[in-house]
Amino acid sequence: MKIVDFKIYEVKPRWIFVKVITDEGINGWGEMISGTKTETVIAGAYEIGKRTLIGRNPFEIERLFQEMHRSFFRGGPIQGTIVSGFEMALWDIKGKALNVPVWELLGGKARDRIKVYSWIGGDRPDDVVNQAQDRVDRGFDSIKMNATEELHYIDSFKKIDAVIKRVSALREKFGMDLNIGIDFHGRVHKAMAKVLASELEQFRPMFLEEVVLPENEDSFKTIASITSTPLATGERLYTRWGFKNIFNEGVIDIIQPDVALVGGINELKKIASTAEALDMAVAPHAPYGPIALAATLQIDTCTPNVFIQEQSLGIHYNKGFDLLDFVDNQEIFHYKNGYVDIPTEPGLGIKLNEDLIEEVSKEKLNWTNPSWKHYDGTIAEW
């Protein structure tokens, strides 16, 4: 079997799908992250794909990963997501060719079902109680919310009080029956992160995520010293080398690698295995489209230290289309009592509506991340 071609699709509102085509009619799907650099990702994907994949054996996944990754200037989110998308598609081909789910090729089941959580509240969190009730009514017992709107280096305690009020309302309504993850989203600087982490401990959160930006990782130790709440990070890191400092510091409790950024399925598995050796949990990041989520469920199935999985259904960024619109076998994303079933179909287990993908991709993406400013006009982290 050889790779003969690939196609890249821009899919509204914010997804990049890639289809890798073989001479035996077995095709694989992968997904890349658009962010605010859609055209750059697509141009890079054509360059890397044409140079590395055409004419090659799609079963040689590790070899092809190494060739795509090991350029002189390597790493970074652009190359990371390009490699990830192609790598996912190679696993999809291999699983389909051998008629087994990808998790069977990665060691087999480590669990019988996968626990999931749902995101609520929006970027500037609001109406969290009603949204949490909606998730509970749909069978979830775990949610994640952004902690706060943007915060300056030193900011008003009025904003801190607003955070406490929101989380307190959730605890008053649901008690300890609802697991609450709280995401700082890197928009909080060290001084205010210390305040928030300390104030939130009374509510016993499931975890605190990205309490500071990953480039300020030296501050994780400071935050960890003032709270017993598990700390999580990793959605903006790529490859196992990007996680080395996190592993060496030993203060993060939960890593959150993203299969569409770190380098793909095998790379995420390697990262998770290292974390297991260091007694760290994994909660993979997956807020994007259906292919990345399907790929992540494959890893969850065979990775014992994954304790919960983010799911991206109904996320408010997906205006115009939801990820289910492009999926024919929607039952693979059916959530019940806070869990999703183990995928059983070959490859990534997802059957896509290619006609709709072709139609939607005729219109270019115009997705861009929000752009925020502080009260004084300085740039705020989103």
**What's the pLDDT score for residue 315?**
61
* Residue 103 contacts residue 301 (beta carbons within 8 Å): yes
Compute the distance between CA of residue 373 and CA of residue 151 in angstroms, rounded to an integer: 10
User: Catalytic pick from 69, 285, 334, 374?
Assistant: 285
Alpha helices (H) in 237-349, listed in sequence order: 239-242, 244-249, 265-277, 290-301
**What's the pLDDT score for residue 313?**
67
**What's the pLDDT score for residue 317?**
60
**What's the pLDDT score for residue 366?**
73
Helix (H, G, I), strand (E, B) or coil at 332: helix
Compute the distance between CA of residue 181 and CA of residue 143 in angstroms, rounded to an integer: 6
Given a cut of 70, the residues of the chain with pLDDT beneath it are 313-320
Helix (H, G, I), strand (E, B) or coil at 276: helix
* Residue 179 contacts residue 132 (beta carbons within 8 Å): no
User: Catalytic pick from 185, 189, 334, 374?
Assistant: 185
Q: Which residue shows structure tokens 């939130």?
A: 200
Exposure on the CB side of residue 103, measured as CA atoms within 13 A:
21
**What's the pLDDT score for residue 250?**
94
The verdict on whether 189 is a catalytic residue reads no
Is the previous residue joined to 13 through a cis bond, with omega within 30 degrees of 0? yes
Q: Which two tokens stand for residue 14?
A: 């914010």
Helix (H, G, I), strand (E, B) or coil at 280: coil
**What's the pLDDT score for residue 364?**
79
Compute the distance between CA of residue 108 and CA of residue 269 in angstroms, rounded to an integer: 13
Exposure on the CB side of residue 315, measured as CA atoms within 13 A:
22
Helix (H, G, I), strand (E, B) or coil at 312: coil
The verdict on whether 285 is a catalytic residue reads yes
* Residue 260 contacts residue 81 (beta carbons within 8 Å): yes
Alpha helices (H) in the chain, listed in sequence order: 38-52, 61-69, 77-98, 102-105, 128-137, 157-174, 190-200, 220-224, 239-242, 244-249, 265-277, 290-301, 354-360
**What is the pTM (predicted TM-score) of this model?**
0.95
Sort 363 into a burial class: Cβ within 10 Å, 0-12 / 13-18 / 19+. Answer: exposed
**What's the pLDDT score for residue 72?**
85
Compute the distance between CA of residue 176 and CA of residue 159 in angstroms, rounded to an integer: 24
DSSP string, 162-201: HHHHHHHHHHHHHGGGSEEEEE-TT-S-HHHHHHHHHHHG
Sort 12 into a burial class: Cβ within 10 Å, 0-12 / 13-18 / 19+. Answer: middle
Residue 231 — φ and ψ, nearest 5°? -105, 140
Compute the distance between CA of residue 85 and CA of residue 106 in angstroms, rounded to an integer: 18
Compute the distance between CA of residue 243 and CA of residue 230 in angstroms, rounded to an integer: 17
Q: Which two tokens stand for residue 206?
A: 């499931």
Which amino acid is located at 49 in the chain? Answer: G
Sketch out the chain's domains with CATH numbers.
3-100 (3.30.390.10), 103-347 (3.20.20.120)
* Residue 11 contacts residue 325 (beta carbons within 8 Å): no
Radius of gyration of the chain (CA): 20
Compute the distance between CA of residue 307 and CA of residue 300 in angstroms, rounded to an integer: 9
